[in-house]
Amino acid sequence: MGMTIANPDKAKSAADQTLSIPFAAEGHRPWVDNYPEGIKWNVPIRVTPIHEQVLAACDRVPDNPAMDFLGAVTDYKTLKRQILNFAGALQNEYGVTHGTRVALLLPNTPFYPVAYYALLMLGAVVVNCNPLYSLGELSHIVGNADADIMVTLDLAQVFEKAEALVARGHIKHVIVCSFPSALPVVKRTLFSIAKRRDLADINASPIRDKIRWFDKLIDLGIAPAPAEIDPVNDIAVQQYTGGTTGLPKGAMLTHANVSANVDQIDKWGCGVFYAPSKVVAILPFFHIFAMTVCMNVPLSNGIETIMLPRFDIKSFLDLMQRKRPNILPSVPTLLHAIANNRHTRPEIISSLELAISGGAPLPSETRDDFEKVSPALLAEGYGLTECSPVVCCAALRVPSKPMSIGMPLPGTDIQFRDLDDPDKEVPPGERGELVVKGAQVMAGYYKNDEATKEATSNGFFRTGDVGYVDEDGYVFLVDRIKDLILCSGFNVYPRNIEEALLHHEAVDEVNVIGVKDEYRGEAPVAFIKFNEGMSATPAELKTFLAERISKIEMPRDFIFKEELPKTLIGKLSKKELREEYAQMIADKQAGTNDAQ
């Protein structure tokens, strides 16, 4: 890739801790002999708590920029001061200690890393909350987590949810960060004039007696008494997952889990994430992928993370021209938006040397479109919340096999198990359920022993994803077990249909779900968003698909929409489409009954 990367001493000391997972001698591991040059698979993994690594980076490069937020830069010595002062205030003003669960309801701002590392330093547990979640979803998360302190923003759209959580009795104390204070001086002035209505009136809030300002807590200048951390057993982050299939479960990630994944990524990257690299943080820190790759990895290595509070193409292109970053962690829909926007020009994003795609399968069409505007190496990775999150990744310096999610990271063992017998491993090339073992795999689900038991088999975590490993050790995923459609006794994988439809020139985005079918048991239904100014009829799409998929895979219905529902990180969501289709059927049946 031509990166000019220095490999600095990460200030390892005698206090550094490592962990070796005892992998069984048996098992198919074809990747071991095919690993990228210079990387070893079965190696000890560093589990020194991540906040200690970040504070060490602050001491190592105090004057270097740590964070850029819309042009406002925080250097490492300032980051350290804020972390220590906030930790001291939490400890002395609120009694935050080992095991205290504190909710963060924050988009990407400089406040998030400060609060995150301060909490970990005290042995407290970070409970991440998505600001776009409904009040019901947030109530479940903070209630299940037993979090009674929340850190949030004074933006009305976010603060009003914190206010409501206090009214419902879930939260007792709210720490409010001033969004304008994070901006550069000129933008702060413009915001106070043009965007004042976006701010909540904190002084008029009915919960004002339960509110403290973040900045004032920092200014107290209280030194914390750091907690003794047991990396293997102490929980660092409680990350909620699985909301698409029921109530979200709290995956308990230990300090060792979190730091192990950072070290695994470092080892896999061979210096990619060292100075002078700069990482773009568009993906939200409260999402596990961004928390690790956009925040923990760069800040523990003493490099700069350049954040946006949300994605819009103009802000992204401005950022690219202003900062010239070289690493872009991303998701397929974001890459699609960048590649297909008329304002994107190769010279604007020419500094990019590496783009990492995660969060959802990367369609070949999106890969092709992105490669037309950027020479950056595009590497697809794979992970899960329960694995802190990264399990597999394509090589970050040389191309990997197309459509593969790469190989297991160092210190990560995987198997593919029989779909009917989760204790039986299948050989390379045969499809099965992916299971994972490694230092990054969670301790379990909070207050949910049954779900924890169901998610494990013979010491491995069951991912629920179907795929296979080839003879060279490259991993390929086919689909989610829960998304798999059983048509007339045959397994139909939505991803296969989606990939075929994306090759049609009129199709911009597509999401396929399975629905009940009297004849076949289940049948696929395709929801499609067309490219601007283009369209196709169901008959034309069926003709197009006839040569690309089997008859059993042919969608029963094609439903055309102006937009397809997505999660906050841009992952196409099937949950809303299933609900929409069920409502369509119910309305249709109600209309038939009325007519009779």
pLDDT tens track, the chain, 596 positions: 334 333 444 555 546 899 988 888 877 899 999 999 999 999 999 999 999 999 999 999 999 999 999 999 999 999 999 999 999 999 999 999 999 999 999 999 999 999 999 999 999 999 999 998 889 889 999 999 999 999 999 999 999 999 999 999 999 999 999 999 999 999 998 888 878 889 999 999 999 999 999 999 999 999 999 899 999 999 999 999 875 446 789 999 999 999 999 999 999 999 999 999 999 999 999 999 999 999 999 999 999 999 999 999 999 999 999 999 999 999 888 999 999 999 999 999 999 999 999 988 888 889 999 999 999 999 999 999 999 999 999 999 888 998 999 999 999 999 999 998 989 999 999 999 999 999 999 999 999 999 999 999 999 999 999 999 999 999 999 988 888 888 877 778 898 899 999 999 999 999 999 998 877 788 999 999 999 999 999 999 999 999 999 888 999 999 999 999 988 778 888 989 999 998 998 888 777 666 55
Q: Against a cut of 0.75, is the pTM above it?
A: yes
Identify the residue whose tokens are 């003794």.
228
The one-letter amino acid code at 115 reads A
Distance between first and last Cα of the chain? 68
- Exposure of 375 in the CB half-sphere (CA atoms within 13 A): 8
> What span, in angstroms and rounded, lies between the C-alpha atoms of 282 and 284?
6
3-state class (DSSP) for residue 358: coil
Nearest to 401 by CA among 364, 447, 349, 441: 364
**Taking the CB of residue 480, how many other CB atoms lie within 10 A of it?**
18
Residue 100 · residue 172 · CB < 8 Å:
no
Cis amide linkage into residue 30, ω under 30° from 0? no
3-state class (DSSP) for residue 576: helix
3-state helix, strand, coil in the chain (%, to 5): 35, 25, 40
Give CATH for domain 50-57+70-228: 3.40.50.12780
> What span, in angstroms and rounded, lies between the C-alpha atoms of 545 and 498?
10
Reported as type and span, the H/E element at residue 214 is helix 214-219
Burial class, 448, CB count within 10 angstroms (exposed 0-12 / middle 13-18 / buried 19+) = middle
Concatenated DSSP letters for 308-324?
A: -SS--HHHHHHHHHHH-
CATH second-level architecture of 484-595? 2-Layer Sandwich (3.30)
Token representation of residue 31:
């990747």
Domain segments of the chain: what residues? Answer: 50-57+70-228, 484-595
Identify the residue whose tokens are 């490669």.
371
Identify the residue whose tokens are 């896999």.
268
Residue 394 · residue 381 · CB < 8 Å:
yes
pLDDT value at residue 153: 98
